[in-house]
A and B are shown apart, each in its own frame.
Chain A
Amino acid sequence: MILRDALYVARRELLKFFRARTRLVVAVIQPLLWLGLMGNMMQGLAQNPFVERLLGTGSYLAFMTPGVLLMTVLFGGVFAGMSIVWDRRIGYLEKLLAAPISRAAIPLGKMLAAAVQGGFQGLLILLIATGLGVRFATGLPGALFALLVAMVFSFTLSGFSLALAVRFTSQETLMAVVNFFTMPLVFTSNALFPREAMPRWLAAVAQVNPVTHAVTPIRQVLLSGWDWLGMGPSLLVIGGLALLMLVVAGRSFGRATVE
C-alpha cells in the first residue's frame, strides 16, 4: 500500500519534471558543456604519461564522465526538497496529509521520483559521452550499472534534501543550505580529480566522501572492468546510505508534520 501511494506521489513529480521543457534542455546542455568543453580543455594534461598513470586512462574525458554523471545527479537530487517547501506553501502537503495515504509514502515517492530523474539525466550524459567517443570497458552492462548507481545516489541525496527541507519554510533558505553542501562535496571527491594526486589531507576527506564511493565503482567499470571485490565496500556504503537516508527523511518528515 505504501509503495502504491508512493508511486502516485512520484508520478506527480515526474509529470511536472518531463513537462518543464526549459529544465530538460538545460539538463542536456549542462553535461554537454562540462564534457565537451572541460574534457577537451584538460585533454592536453592527460597526454603526460605521469598524469595518464594517475588518471588510469589517456582520456581525461573518459576519466571525468563518471564525475560529471554524479555531479549532475547530485545537483538534481539535492533539489528534491524544494518540492516539499513548495507543497507546504501552496497547501498541497496538507491535502496529501488529509488523504488516507501513509505518511511515509510522501518522502518515499519524492525520493523515487528523484531516482528516475537522476537515471534520465544520467542516460543523457552517457549518450553525450558516447557521442564524444567514450566507451565502457564493460560495454552495455557496465553502462546500465553506472546508471543504477547514479539512481541510487540521486535517491539518497533527495532524502538528505527532504530531511533538511521539512525544517525550512522558504526555498531560498533551503537553496543556500543545500549549496553549502554540494560544492564542497564535489570538490573534496575524486569526481574531477584523481585521489592519487591529492594532498594527503584532501585524499583522507575524499575517502569518506560519499561522492567518491559513487564515482569509484563507475570509473572502475568504465576504465578497466568488473572487480566486485574492489567495488564491494563502495557499493555497500552507497546502498547503506540510501537506506539510512530513507529512514532519516521518513522520520524527520513524520516529526515535522505530526503536531
Chain B
Amino acid sequence: MEAVVVEDLVKVYRGGIRAVDGVSFSIAEQEVFGFLGPNGAGKSTTIKCVIGLLRPTSGRIRVFGVDVEKDPGIAKRTIGYAAQETAVDDQLTGWENLYLQGRFYRLSREEIRRRGEEVLRLFGLWERRNDLAQTYSGGMLKRLDIACALLHRPRLLFLDEPTLGLDVQTRKAIWDYIRKLREEQKMTIFLTTHYMEEADELCDRVAIIDRGRILALDRPGALKAALGGDLITLKFASADDRVPSLLSAIRALPGVRDLRSSPDGVHWIRVEQRGDRLIPELVQLALAHGVPVDSVRLKRPTLDDVYLHYTGREIREAASSREEHVRARILQRRVRR
C-alpha cells in the first residue's frame, strides 16, 4: 500500500491566495520523500493538508488508505509531525513534554514510560529528562521535538525543515537518526528542506515545488542527470601541435558528449555521467600523446543546480515582484498561526 496518495490537491486561503494549485504525488512505504522549494512555495501548506491541520479546497488525500478528511482521528494516529518551529513547552521538563504528548495520542502510562525511555535514549536526552526544557540547547530542543513526534510510533513521520538553524554536528546527527528510523522502524518519512545537500543525502525521491505546483519529481540522481551530466575542465601544461590530435582522441572516448576549447587553452568536456572515472583515462591519453597535464577539475551538477534550473532565481526576495513577496509573507503567517 502507498503511505500517502495526494490527488489534485488545491488549497485556496481566504482572500483568494492559491497556496497549492493542483498537486499530485504518492509516497511508497518506507520511502524518504523530500519537498524542495522557496519560501511560500506551498510546501508547508501541502503538509498541513495531509496531516489534517488544514482543510483542502479540493482534491483527495489518503494516508495508508485512510481518507484524511473523513477519518482524521484514524489518520492522525498513524502520523508523527515535527513542525518547523520547535514546539516544545520550555516551562516543562523534557519528560513532561513527552508524557503529555503521549497522553494526547492516547498512550497508556506504561507505554509512555517504556517508549519514552527508548526515544530519549535514542536522542541522547535521557540524562536531561528532568531538566526544564528552557535549559536545553537549540539542537536538544529539536531532538526533543522529534522524539515527541516519534513516541506513538507513527508509520509516517513528517519533518518540516528538521535541521533549520542547527550546527553541522547536530544536523549530521539528525540525518543519522532519520536513516536509522527508516531502517530500524520501517518508517516512511516526508521532509521539507531548504538544504539541497540534505535532500540529496537523505531522500529517495524529491519533488521541487514552486508557486503551488510540482515542477519536477524524481530521484535526486535522475534529476541531476537530466540537467546534462558532469563537466570536466582540462588544462595542458604546453600548447603544441600534438594537442589537436589528443583532443580528437578524447572526443572519441565513450560517454563524452561535447568538447569545447577556449583560445587560451582551457578545454571543457561534458560527460554523460561518472566524470570521475574518465579522469584517469584522460590523463593517460594525454601522456600517451606526450602532452603534460597542468590541471583537471570535475564539476558535477548538484541539487542546487537542479533547484535553480526549475525555480529560477536564487534569492527570492530580491528578485521577486512585490506581489510575490506579499504572497510569501501572508502564506508564512497563515501557516504559522
Tell whether B13 is near chain A: CB-to-CB under 8 Å. yes
* Cβ–Cβ contact B87 & A91, under 8 A: yes
CB distance from B324 to the nearest CB of A (A): 22
| Interface contact A16-B100, CB-CB below 8 Å | no
B89 pairs with A92, CB closer than 8 A? yes
B51 touches A91 (CB 8 A): no
Q: Mark B209-226, 1 if CB is under 8 A from A, else 0.
A: 000000000000000000
Say if the beta carbon of B337 comes within 8 Å of chain A: yes
CA distance A12 to B88 in the complex (A): 12
Q: Is B33 an interface residue (CB 8 A)?
A: no
Least Cβ–Cβ distance between B234 and chain A, in angstroms: 52
Task: Assess whether B100 is in contact with A100, with CB atoms less than 8 Å apart.
Answer: no
Contacting pair B92 A95 (CB below 8 A):
no
- Chain B contact residues: helix, strand, loop or mixed: loop
**Bound: A96/B106 CA distance, A:** 13
Give A211 to B5 CA distance when docked, in angstroms: 54
Please state if A100 and B53 are interface contacts (CB–CB under 8 Å).
Answer: no
Q: Is B327 at the interface (CB under 8 A from chain A)? A: no
CB proximity to B under 8 Å, residues A87-116? 88, 90-92, 94-101
CB within 8 Å for A90 and B87 given contacts A98-B51, A99-B76, A169-B337: yes
Asked if A12 meets B53 with Cβ closer than 8 Å, knowing A91-B83, A99-B101, A100-B106, the reply is: no
Q: What are the residues of chain A within 8 A of B77 when measuring CB–CB? A: 100
Nearest CB of chain B from residue A179's CB, rounded to whole Å: 24
Cα-based distance from A19 to B91 in the complex (angstroms): 8
**When chains A and B are docked, how far (Å) is the Cα of A16 from the Cα of B89?**
10
Interface string of A1-34 (1 = CB under 8 A from B): 0000100100110011001100000000000000
Taking a contact as CB atoms closer than 8 A, the residue among B89, B105, B334 that contacts A100 in the complex is: B105
A259 in contact with B14 given A15-B92, A95-B87 (CB within 8 Å): yes
B14 CB → nearest A CB, Å: 7
Which residue of the partner chain B has the closest CB to A258?
B55
**Which of chain B's residues have a CB closer than 8 A to the CB of A101?**
104
Interface contacts (Cβ under 8 Å), in number, total: 68
Residue interface bits B96-112, CB-to-A below 8 A is 1, else 0: 10001101111000000
Given contacts A98-B52, A101-B104, A258-B55, contact A12 B92 (CB under 8 A): yes
- Contact A98:B76 (CB < 8 A) given known A8-B104, A15-B92: yes
**B243 close to chain A: CB less than 8 A:** no
Tell me, yes or no, whether B277 is within 8 Å of chain A by CB.
Answer: no
Q: How far is the CB of A113 from chain B (nearest CB, A)?
A: 13
**Is B85 a contact of A100 with CB atoms below 8 Å?**
no
Expressed in whole angstroms, the Cα–Cα distance for A11 and B96 within the complex equals: 10
Once bound together, how far apart are the Cα atoms of A99 and B149, in whole Å?
10
B88 contact set on A, CB distance < 8 A: 90, 92
Residues of A participating in the B interface, judged by any CB pair closer than 8 Å: 5, 8, 11-12, 15-16, 19-20, 88, 90-92, 94-101, 169, 258-259
Q: What are 15 contact pairs spanning A and B, CB under 8 A?
A: A8-B100, A8-B104, A15-B92, A88-B337, A90-B87, A92-B89, A94-B53, A95-B83, A95-B148, A97-B53, A98-B52, A98-B79, A98-B83, A99-B104, A100-B73
Known: A5-B104, A94-B53, A99-B76. 16 other contacts (CB 8 A): A12-B92, A90-B86, A91-B83, A91-B84, A92-B88, A92-B89, A95-B101, A95-B148, A97-B53, A98-B51, A98-B81, A100-B72, A100-B73, A100-B76, A259-B14, A259-B334
Closest 9 CB pairs of A and B: A91-B85, A91-B87, A99-B104, A100-B76, A95-B87, A8-B103, A98-B81, A16-B91, A100-B73
